[in-house]
Amino acid sequence: MTANASSAFSDRLVSENQTVWDAMQTHRFVEELASGTMPEQAFHRYLVYEGAFVATAVRIFSLALAKAPTIEDQRWLHGVVGALLTEQLAYFERAYRDLGVDPAAFDRTAPGFTAFDRGMLTIAETGGFSDIVTAMFCAEWMYLNWCRAALARMEGQGFPREWVALHVAPGFEAQAVWLKSRIDALAGEMDQSERQRLTVLFGKVVELEIAFHTAAFG
Ligand SMILES: Cc1ncc(CO)c(N)n1
């Protein structure tokens, strides 16, 4: 047995898409946020896109809840949807107010934003539970990883640092780990072609993420 064959499916989703994964981990957005060199306008545009995506994430996780195979999954996802509708949406309202950001002043038809937002929702609408878990595992595991590395480089940078810290906090980590263990359990029941299909889907989500973060620069 090769090392690759014995590693978790979730780890193979990353390693089979290593080139695009690394491109996202070292994206201009990540570099500039970590080094404190991102233009303010880009960070504000990013927060507007992120705030819009929270509303989409409510729909995505609600579709996951509807399609989930077990009550335990549904109980967990109910908590996720609840947190998005309360803490997360409130966070963006507060952020826009404190930073003086008017979301209406930003173009939300930028292709990089719409491709990601529409693309992720389409996966949730047309795909099964495994598709949604794969896509959101990709999104959250990717953030957990770059935010951990970036946070170590960030000191006294106010709001951007707070944002990055939020994505290494225990609550976010628990959610990323839940998605990881869930896709690993689901993979045990899958045939090779289904695993391959989800590996391609994972790569597509990383590409959408790259376009989303590029769009922040206008
Ligand atoms: C665009 C994007 N991808 C992933 C995450 C992780 O939750 C996020 N907050 N935003």
Token pair 């695009």 is found at: 20
**Atom 9 of ligand 1 has which residue's CA nearest to it?**
50
**Atom 3 of ligand 1 has which residue's CA nearest to it?**
139
Q: Check if the beta carbon of residue 29 is closer than 8 Å to that of residue 212.
A: no
Q: For all residues of the chain together, what is the average pLDDT?
A: 95
What does the radius of gyration of the chain's CA atoms come to, in whole angstroms?
Answer: 17
- Nearest CA to 93 among 106, 102, 105? 102
CA distance 126 to 95: 33
Tens-digit pLDDT profile for residues 88-141: 898 899 999 999 999 999 999 999 999 999 999 999 999 999 999 999 999 999
DSSP codes joined into one string, 85-126? IIIIHHHHHHHHHHHT--GGGS-TT-HHHHHHHHHHHHHHHH
Q: Which residues line ligand 1 (CB under 6 A)?
A: 50, 53, 139-140, 143, 209, 212
Tens-digit pLDDT profile for residues 163-195: 999 999 999 999 999 999 999 999 999 999 999
Q: What's the gap in Å between 3 CA and the centre of ligand 1?
A: 30
**Ligand 1: nearest atom to the Cα of 213:** 1
Q: What is the DSSP letter of 1?
A: -
Token pair 């047309």 is found at: 126
Q: What's the gap in Å between 141 CA and the centre of ligand 1?
A: 9
What SS3 class is residue 17? Answer: coil
Active site residue 16: no
Does the predicted interface ipTM exceed a cut of 0.90?
A: yes
Q: Check if the beta carbon of residue 201 is closer than 8 Å to that of residue 30.
A: no
> CATH classification of 8-215 is 1.20.910.10, yes or no?
yes
* pTM for the full predicted model: 0.96
Give me the residue spans of the domains in the chain. 8-215
Which pLDDT does position 3 carry in this prediction? 45
